[in-house]
Structure 1
């Protein structure tokens, strides 16, 4: 694929930080290799004003979550071929920089992410961000092989990760000339450059000088760089002043020179040229990338460093000298030895220069362009759509006995220890009613209806959990079970083909209406709205039930008004389970009761949810059940369950019935495809041999148990989708 337009997302000069410099250098390198390329920059806004160059097309306020939504649309409007993200946790807003993910989810172009920080272990918040970032990105780029090893150990496929060195400019300045220009002719120069902050270990370097200066009286330790802007905001120049005081107290103040500024590339080249030794005495082992180290090594400097991760890799095989962290004595010995032995220093310089040949920015730019082109070609190759299976109830029948449908299974075997539930028997009744031609449907309907009969108490409420020995485990089931049972009876009373069972369902329904009179759970209210809307649609008005429907719909509207924002069009401040039920209930109500405002609100919410549930290449990826998902966090990716598919399919089909827009049918089919293997593991949850559906998708495997909820969710989704495809003009009031 020919790449014509690229957007780089991160920081950009004149902002003073390593990411800003890297982004600017990468943009220049891409244009050096491909002058016809259009390169745009989306720069993060940290609240300061910068005089950006023209190629910075937009800025994104770091701590404004809605700004990330607007930025995604602006980037899509640029119609770029690739978005290349520069990732560092601290430059994006939200917990561990999670606001970035809001933007990336909404992008249309493929994403390549350069990881500037890769850790061996992450905090839970960081791990969640990295997992979703990896899922959203077509490729990840790292700048060390250790980073690649870390990522693969964390479960990211090695084939998704590219190793590309940190680029460096090729500098051509004479050492003696630049020493003279700096007023250091005849001096031996040790250089450290970069933004000053306490983690750079400069105290250790200064403490090493008393062991070096006596034998090298013309030594100058040159510390080049402004104080880190964030540190300067908090403390002013207190840190730098403390270093000056330390040098004075050790009697080496005359040998330490501070250059308190952010050097241009040309200036930096002159300082590097003047150096005899480049020193990085950093304190943090977990530094996977150092641009300053790459610059110095690639330009043939003798390097002494502490053994942080990037230094261990770049300075291996005799390309530099490593000293222990915070060890001023050993550091002084190594510096003294290199200054005493010019031949040893020259040998290090030669090895460093040879290694740096492949690290020049034009070479790095060419490698990035190759990754961009390969990514574009890969995105074009889409996974074929699997065939929609024929519905079979044989595994549901296998999960049943004379009492009803067992709740859980161990692989394909019913698990009697977990007993039965009204929830699953209500689902089974609905599915049996939808599949009258299946040979298992009549007996399944009879058993499920009998179970609901026994679950319905004299107070008009249902019990939910029953043990294998037929003892009820509670006096009254949860609200969802109440609403789901009534919903199933409404459907069965109208659609069961056996007149005796249909009559029994009607009789039970008469006594079951109290079960949904006082619901407080929004999901239970949404389920009740589906039941009330279907009953109103087919049986006509009923004052008491219609008033109940109006009350529940008003509550969903209230919740939406309370919690929805431009970037979070939802009824709650989080997403958890069976999320699509909320807009589905309001949509069914609005369609049947003639409330276009409710229809529009529900469609907007459902469309937003479908966006959240979109993975790479536009595939369905439900919100995982590992935890609830709150606005601004990384999205839970794993432990996705088939019930999320069914909730989505049912809502999409209701949206199609309300609008006639066939894109809703496409979204419903997309959700079913997740169960058929179009998912991150590319493994189907449908077991064609048993006719069951596996219980979920973990990060490393499919849950092989084939319980009732999962199997019923699969086949109800397929049955409803087939029914609408067979009679597309028919109104559907689906859902459990």
Structure 2
């Protein structure tokens, strides 16, 4: 059995690193050294470097996404039987640790995930990431029953996928008397708190409770064992420890409080725990699903006083400890004195804790984990094509809800803040033209009543934006004032694309008539276009028009002139290693070969057909290098012999790619294009570089793009329309 763990790891000073090290040892002791092989992929933080032990075979720099992909390749090459992920949001790179998705979704072996933190009120990213991890996992391990309820209720994870294995504790070999003697505290009553120090630990509550305690128990000493948490140290230094020390001095407790500023090893920690009479966890927030320090204290047979955070409520039930209210130093003082002044009760509570702790030893945990690993390995079968398959039943329900949210009586608002229309940004012709297109497609595919209702709004905006010379204004503020004299060529081209589609899909004659007037009024400007994308959009509009009027020789000739412009640009810019229309791959790239694919149906030009296939292959090799769609980002684009800009990926490029492969499939009936079309669409559903869906099932909108930090959670008109165009195209192709 060959196992690989993804985690922080010793000598990094981190609770999860310690946990993983203990787990490896427990599994090794449970199994046989001859039969069990265990390696670690270690997460390294903030450009630190560690002298890792031999079992660490690969190190990931936390904020370098490429390292996660390389780690996946390493794991796949080493023929492991199972992978165990120790998950905590803060130890992985990207927003809310999203980079870990790039790793786990690329490996070919079963995955067991141990969630060390589970949030009842997660952010959008935290929830999405945890759900994606859970989907990939064969089994999920949590340490409390309460965690199972949260995963089921908040994240809709099936309970049968979840296993509760409590936090492990060491076997304590020293008696209390011996441990106290070793610490030179033989005649003291020891109160202990250990672990990383930070404001959320609430240690000041214990210090404030001590004056009332030491008056009747002068032999008491409170030990605060642990370093300041590294993240706290980086941002706030020792501010909290200094506050606690000052508080100790102000309350005249320096003889009763000792600070041990060290990340103690397991042997010394065991001594402290064995020595203590009362262990206190005074955390200030209930939302802590697991506390390793609390588990260790129970395992050591300490009498425990704790605030009622989730893990404490569960672990200290049935008389194994005492709960006191958050930040309540008075009640804590009362409970401390009660235990210290009642030796029999103190002994009884310690005995109950010790008995329960026998079920939490690392030996028992090793057995549970090894059994789970063997089960997962036995039942897992990797299917390299599974995630690529897509049927109509797999598609989310079709909905224009977000489009309707963005649309008012004037038109569609171009931007949104999250899913809320941003009126400050006003309207644009581009989005209203695309909105007309999607309403036509939706009515054509589903006879959607909402689509029919929305059409005249978008048509009216386009009509209002057209100038007498056939050109258009583009941007308009929320006060209905145009902000430009003449809009961009691209906005002109997109409008012609939508008006062309109106010819073949208009549900009402009056819509057709108005569209026809605007189309031909604009047509006098076709030959003046210089933008190659505007030319491509117009070619697509003409193509849709010709599907309705195939014998219009004048329009066929206009299409030929425009197509020749694209051919000319190709000949100027291309070479043996660069089969493209310009010296850069920028935005909406697939629209260029797509337009010529549509033109080829009417132009009967073999040279054109051959050139289109070359440009399609060239583009495909770039955007499918990793087996999924990874389009060129808008940060720096892509020039020959330079790095491809990975982020700033926009839905508009995905939609053009979906349409391109669909058009190729229609022309050739080659199933490979159908498969590439569905793979391209799955970019919206999470098959992308960040492994997160951009489609929002709650709002029915699409997020605006993939950025280096994560998902751009705004849901503007362009992104949602692009998702819906892609959706309807795939639906039409698969039905």
Establish whether residue 547 from structure 1 lines up as the match of residue 565 from structure 2. Answer: yes
Any residues of structure 2 matched to 1:556-705 within 5 Å, and which? 571=586, 592-593=610-611, 596=614, 599-606=617-624, 610-611=628-629, 650-652=659-661, 665-668=674-677, 698=697
CA contact (8 A) 1:533 1:593 kept: no
Corresponding position of 1:203? 204
Alpha-carbon distance in 2 for matches of 1:428, 1:371: 48
Q: Secondary structure at the match of 2:297?
A: helix
Q: CA deviation at 1:157?
A: 2.4
Q: Secondary structure at the match of 1:329?
A: helix
Any residues of structure 2 matched to 1:77-92 within 5 Å, and which? 77-92=77-92
Q: Secondary structure at the match of 2:263?
A: coil
Corresponding position of 2:133? 133
Q: CA deviation at 1:304?
A: 0.8
Any residues of structure 2 matched to 1:322-471 within 5 Å, and which? 322-376=323-377, 377=379, 379=381, 423=437
Q: Deviations over 1:392-425 (max 9, x none)?
A: xxxxxxxxxxxxxxxxxxxxxxxxxx99986269
Q: CA deviation at 1:56?
A: 1.2
Q: Secondary structure at the match of 1:162?
A: strand
Alpha-carbon distance in 2 for matches of 1:660, 1:77: 37
Q: CA deviation at 1:292?
A: 0.7
CA contact (8 A) 2:580 2:615 kept: no
Q: Secondary structure at the match of 1:253?
A: coil
Q: CA deviation at 1:315?
A: 0.9
Alpha-carbon distance in 1 for matches of 2:504, 2:700: 36
Q: Deviations over 1:20-55 (max 9, x none)?
A: 112222222232333323322222221222111111
Establish whether residue 32 from structure 1 lines up as the match of residue 29 from structure 2. Answer: yes
Change (3 A) 1:223 1:586: farther
Q: CA deviation at 1:13?
A: 1.0
Change (3 A) 1:330 1:5: same
Corresponding position of 1:16? 13
Q: CA deviation at 1:171?
A: 1.8
Change (3 A) 1:586 1:67: farther
Corresponding position of 2:157? 157
Alpha-carbon distance in 2 for matches of 1:294, 1:671: 48
Corresponding position of 1:732? none
CA contact (8 A) 1:116 1:142 kept: yes
Q: CA deviation at 1:86?
A: 2.0
Corresponding position of 1:251? 252
Q: Deviations over 1:283-333 (max 9, x none)?
A: 222211111111111232211111112111111221111111222221111
CA contact (8 A) 2:286 2:309 kept: yes
CA contact (8 A) 1:583 1:603 kept: no
Q: CA deviation at 1:604?
A: 2.1
Change (3 A) 1:237 1:134: same
Q: Secondary structure at the match of 1:6?
A: strand
Q: Deviations over 1:583-625 (max 9, x none)?
A: 8669999974268477323432145583569xxxxxxxxxxxx
Alpha-carbon distance in 2 for matches of 1:608, 1:509: 44
| Greater relative CO, 1 or 2 (CA 8 Å, sep 6+) | 1
Change (3 A) 1:209 1:650: same
Alpha-carbon distance in 2 for matches of 1:513, 1:88: 61
Q: CA deviation at 1:650?
A: 4.7
Q: Secondary structure at the match of 2:359?
A: helix
Corresponding position of 1:61? 61
CA contact (8 A) 1:91 1:97 kept: yes
Q: CA deviation at 1:16?
A: 0.7
Corresponding position of 1:304? 305
Change (3 A) 1:124 1:584: same
Q: Secondary structure at the match of 2:104?
A: helix
Corresponding position of 1:48? 48
Q: CA deviation at 1:429?
A: 12
Q: Secondary structure at the match of 1:73?
A: helix
Q: CA deviation at 1:251?
A: 2.0
Change (3 A) 1:554 1:326: farther
Change (3 A) 1:125 1:155: closer
Q: Which is further off, 550-559 or 590-599?
A: 550-559
Q: CA deviation at 1:175?
A: 0.9
Q: CA deviation at 1:61?
A: 1.5
Q: Secondary structure at the match of 2:54?
A: coil
Q: CA deviation at 1:234?
A: 4.2
Corresponding position of 2:448? none
Q: CA RMSD in A?
A: 5.6
Alpha-carbon distance in 2 for matches of 1:238, 1:457: 65
Q: Secondary structure at the match of 2:25?
A: helix
Please list every run of 5 or more consecutive structure 1 residues that lacks an aligned counterpart in the other structure: 390-417, 432-450, 465-474, 493-504, 563-569, 573-577, 614-629, 681-695, 703-707, 723-736
Change (3 A) 1:151 1:460: same
Change (3 A) 1:287 1:531: same
TM-score after normalising by structure 2: 0.66
Alpha-carbon distance in 1 for matches of 2:69, 2:387: 28
Corresponding position of 1:146? 146
Alpha-carbon distance in 2 for matches of 1:428, 1:243: 64
TM-score after normalising by structure 1: 0.66
CA contact (8 A) 1:117 1:288 kept: yes
Q: Secondary structure at the match of 1:21?
A: helix
Change (3 A) 1:463 1:554: farther
Establish whether residue 262 from structure 1 lines up as the match of residue 263 from structure 2. Answer: yes
Alpha-carbon distance in 2 for matches of 1:581, 1:380: 36
Alpha-carbon distance in 1 for matches of 2:248, 2:291: 26
Figure out how many residues of one structure are paired with residues of the other and give that number: 600
Alpha-carbon distance in 2 for matches of 1:239, 1:310: 24
Change (3 A) 1:38 1:529: farther
Alpha-carbon distance in 2 for matches of 1:105, 1:224: 39
CA contact (8 A) 1:69 1:103 kept: yes
Corresponding position of 2:707? none
Alpha-carbon distance in 1 for matches of 2:61, 2:597: 35
Q: CA deviation at 1:478?
A: 5.8
Change (3 A) 1:585 1:285: farther
